[in-house]
Amino acid sequence: MIDSTTQLRHLATDDIQFRKNALGLVNFLNSTGCTTLLAYEPNEPAYDMSVGLAVDRGLESGTTTLLSGPAGTGKTTLGMQFLVHMAIATQKCTALFSFEESPSFIATRSHSIGMPIDAVLASDRLRIVRVNPLEPYPDEFLSWCANRSKRRMAAW
């Protein structure tokens, strides 16, 4: 999960460059077969939309899903529910890259609503990584994610 993709906008020189970077990120993630959830805060008011995920099927493996909404609507919390469930149900490694909230804040909030996050963190099947949006270039961030994914998160 990448939270919040909106912060990547600050790395681009203009809207067109941001769109190219975002599409490049989605294409790269899809080409690797990585199941990804991107959280995004729109700049303009959106229509009232309920969560359009098929609850009985969940996220389709190997796809990228964009979850959009204003700050404080639960995008990160919903993403954490998917990550924790995936880590427990499949024994696969999962990661959340946060451009805004600290790992300790995310973990505390997740724990406070009953997610079994302590066991997943202790087993190293979930990593919460804080990324400063001003430091990496988009291609550096993609490369960093790809390298960590290839090593199955062993070097994090």
> Between 117 and 59, whose confidence is greater?
117
Give the residue among 145, 128, 147, 149 at the shortest CA–CA distance from 136: 145
Average pLDDT on 124-148 reads 83
Average pLDDT on 78-82 reads 88
Q: Which CATH number fits domain 1-23+71-156: 2.30.30.90, 3.40.50.300, 3.10.20.30, 3.40.605.10?
A: 3.40.50.300
Distance separating alpha carbons of residues 76 and 69, to the nearest angstrom: 11
Sketch the domain layout of the chain as residue ranges.
1-23+71-156
Q: How confident is the model at residue 122 (pLDDT cuts 50, 70, 90)?
A: very high
Distance separating alpha carbons of residues 32 and 122, to the nearest angstrom: 27
pLDDT at 143: 83
96's enclosing H/E stretch is: strand 94-98
- Which residues, 6 or more positions from 22, have their beta carbon under 8 angstroms from its beta carbon? 5, 8
